[in-house]
Amino acid sequence: MTEKCLTENEITGYVDALVTTSNRKRIESHLSKCALCLHNVAELKQLVDLKLGRAAMPSAAALARAASIIASHTRTEDRFDINVILKQGVCRILKSTGNLLLPRQPSIVPVRGRKRKALAPRISKTLAGYLVTVELTPAEDTLKPTLTLLEEASSTKPDGIKAKLYSPDACKTKYSHKGRVNFPPLKAGSFRIEIEEIGTIGLDIKQ
């Protein structure tokens, strides 16, 4: 996100073609830079088209590709990237623009029919006034990301913040509960997590 995101009224007016020419240009300029608003517009237009019997909007995969294309417009201070390698239940950080924290207690990981202890790396960075921490819990061939959000000014762990995980073929939406956002285990690939009004996390998993 490079500026204040669109309001619900602006998104609704744009989809219904009820905005002025100058506002339409401003909104489209914002959509070219903000994956979150682009996806929200697409979701609303899909609902409208289905009600009117029009052709369906692009799939989640197409939206994920669109998000990837506009990723380069995101400001550095609104995002951080994590590159990891996962082998036999061991996750190693290759590179990150966040801060590496000490892992919590080891997790029990099944590897080749046996259970073993493995550390879950944690990486954090301050984005838009929130301390965002990513914990990566490994299994044999998957990595489960869990986000923790802490509002620095009040030390509160917020509920209801939307986070969207973009993968090459899908988009999953989750909401924070007591500051935590849990995503399903991921296999090797490139992923992006858009946290509403906070920032973006890039996650690249190699095996």
Q: Whole-angstrom Cα distance, residue 123 to residue 100?
A: 5
Please say whether the beta carbons of 25 and 185 come within 8 A.
no
128 close to 198: Cβ distance less than 8 angstroms? yes
Per-residue pLDDT, averaged over 83-106, amounts to 84
Percent of the chain with pLDDT over 90: 36
Alpha helices in 20-163 (DSSP H): 21-31, 35-52, 60-69
CA-angle at 54, arms to 48 and 60, nearest 5°: 70
Query: For 40-70, what is each residue's pLDDT tens digit?
Result: 888 787 776 666 655 544 455 555 555 555 5
pLDDT at 103: 72
Q: What is the dihedral sign for C-alpha 175, 203, 147, 109?
A: positive
Helix (H, G, I), strand (E, B) or coil at 52: helix
Asked if residues 39 and 15 have their Cβ atoms less than 8 Å apart, the reply is no
Residue 102: strand, helix, or coil: coil
Name every residue whose Cβ is closer than 8 Å to that of residue 18 and which is 6 or more positions away in sequence. 12
Q: Lowest mean pLDDT of 6-20, 73-87, 118-132, 167-181, name the range.
A: 73-87
Q: For residue 73, what pLDDT is reported? A: 47
Which runs of consecutive H residues, i.e. helices, occur in 99-176? Answer: none
First to last CA, the chain: 30
38 by Cβ neighbours in 10 Å (0-12 / 13-18 / 19+) ranks as buried
